[in-house]
Amino acid sequence: MIHTYCIVYVLLLVPLTGATESGIVGGKVAKPHSRPYMASLQFEKKHSCGGILVREDFVLTVAHCRSDQIMTVVLGAHDVSKKEKTQQWIQVAKYFPHPNFTGGVDYDIMLLKLKKKAKLNKYVKAIGLPKKNGKTPAHIKCAVAGWGRTGHNEPSSNVLKENTEMLLFSHDCKRIWEKHFDSNHMICTKSDKKKGGICQGDSGGPLICNTKPQGLTAFTFQSDCSNSKYPHVFTKVNFFLPWIKKVMQDLGNVA
């Protein structure tokens, strides 16, 4: 038991600190611009993390995607390898990681204040947030989406891909991930080797349940993201709604 726990602990930290390239395993290519809230977070014109536009001047993602490099948010994209006419490239003005985030797995959430407001149209739209006390039942299928690697050591996909994953009960996740899983501000899904889903480093992309972003990709089992013994874990968005709204209200006009 101790031996297994140590392996999980070591591997758990790798995708949070060493890999942020996004990737969806299996699934299908998304219909172009069918998810107009999707954001590609890039460094030096290379996709690194995912995120969602929650207001014309704010993108929501996970805190471990932060870097000392200049981050650019690309909105309205389908193929991130091309300069599509629908794309809007906007630099990040300020990072707002959750104040309780210390580099581990807890409180892994961050708001990005854009240098200028996005122009909302049919290709770029903000997504509505879930209700504060809303509950999403287990065993419903939710959508995940992202750009990047399509598997371990596989080449990246330049076009947006999507897949579905099934929510699990929190006690199932707690039993497996032990102290790394906090049911108050995390939710999890069943990994499936045949159907695929998110993979290690698929950071900041959304988990969409009933049209609302219920989660942000946080971590998976590093050595095998489709290992059915280890659920995929997401930051629970509705837990952080008071903080999200406070940041956007209090700091939204900060230059």
State the amino acid at position 20 in one-letter form: T
Residues 57, 106, 108, 202: which is the catalytic one? 108
Rounded-to-integer distance, Cα 133 and Cα 108, Å: 20
Q: Hey, how many other C-beta atoms are within 10 angstroms of the C-beta on 242? A: 10
Which among 22, 48, 191, 203 is annotated as catalytic? 203
| Angle, vertex CA 202, rays to CA 93 and CA 34, nearest 5 | 80
Is 203 known to be catalytic? yes
Among residues 22, 40, 57, 64, which one is catalytic?
A: 64
Nearest alpha carbon to residue 206 among 129, 132, 103: 129
DSSP SS3 for 231: coil
Contact residues for 85 (Cβ-Cβ < 8 A; gap 6+) = none
Q: How far is CA 110 from the centre of its chain?
A: 10
108 tagged catalytic? yes
Q: Which residues are catalytic?
A: 64, 108, 203
